[in-house]
Amino acid sequence: MKNPLSIHQKVSFTTACIFTAIAPVVGYLSIGLAPVIIVGGSAIMALIFWSRTYLRRPVDPEIILPLFILTVAGLQIHIVEEYLMGFAPSMSRLFRISWSEKSFLIVFALVGPVIYTLTSLGLYYKIPIAGFVAWFIFIGPGVAEFTHFIFPLISPDLMPQDPNPITAFIGGTKIPDMPNFYFKITGNYYFPGMWTAILPMILGCMAIYRLLLKKQESNY
């Protein structure tokens, strides 16, 4: 029989559920549907795995903390490529969403590192909600990066036959220089972030495997 959750664990679980419900809605209202599918799906999967593992039995920091830091390091390298190659405007053209480079930088280059730092501290002290954030990073910005290999095969919503960058207003926001990476038009199989997407993917998969293996070992 499983031990009942403590007050601290219940608060963490409630917080994670609220995030899982609200984050996709906020993302949809501010950006659009396509990225929300990835974020929302990752949050749901993270909630399931976290509630069955770290929430009830926090993993020792010497196991999960290096995995998290390495995954975040791979993710940050990946984000550099995304920014330099125009990931945000490329996504805007691909899915007709208003994702500016400014909002991309605020979320991933400024707010993101703050969250990663606080999560690392939380994992060190075995704070339950930190485990949820870690699982979300392992699954979302980790495993889900495989989508970069699919994006070049999708016809953009905005002027798919034009290989040149375009500027347009989307949802009242001016998005300049939106490039076209549609493989059928460019003949070049690439999408911003694709070269380094494998870094957080591999590290995220390693972390998930190690954590699930640890859970299995603890059941014996």
Bridge partner list, 173: 170
Contacts of residue 60, Cβ cutoff 8 Å, sequence gap at least 6: none
Q: Which residues of 53-89 are buried (b: 16+ CB within 10 A; e: fewer)?
A: bbbbebbeeeebbebbebbbebbbebbebbbebbbbb
pLDDT tens digits, 143-178: 889 999 999 999 999 999 999 999 999 988 899 999
pLDDT tens digits, 72-81: 999 999 999 9
d(CA 36, CA 85): 22
The pLDDT value given to residue 180: 97
Write down the domain spans for the chain: 7-218
Question: What pTM value is reported for the model?
Answer: 0.91
Which SS3 state, helix, strand or coil, does residue 213 take? helix
Helices (H), the chain: 7-30, 33-52, 61-85, 87-95, 101-104, 112-124, 128-137, 183-186, 198-218
At residue 219 the predicted structure's pLDDT band, cuts being 50, 70 and 90, is: low
At residue 197 the predicted structure's pLDDT band, cuts being 50, 70 and 90, is: very high
At residue 204 the predicted structure's pLDDT band, cuts being 50, 70 and 90, is: very high
Both tokens of residue 27? Answer: 């993302």
Q: Per this entry, what is the length of the chain?
A: 220
The 8-class DSSP code of residue 58 comes to P
pLDDT tens digits, 20-55: 988 888 777 767 677 677 888 889 999 999 999 999
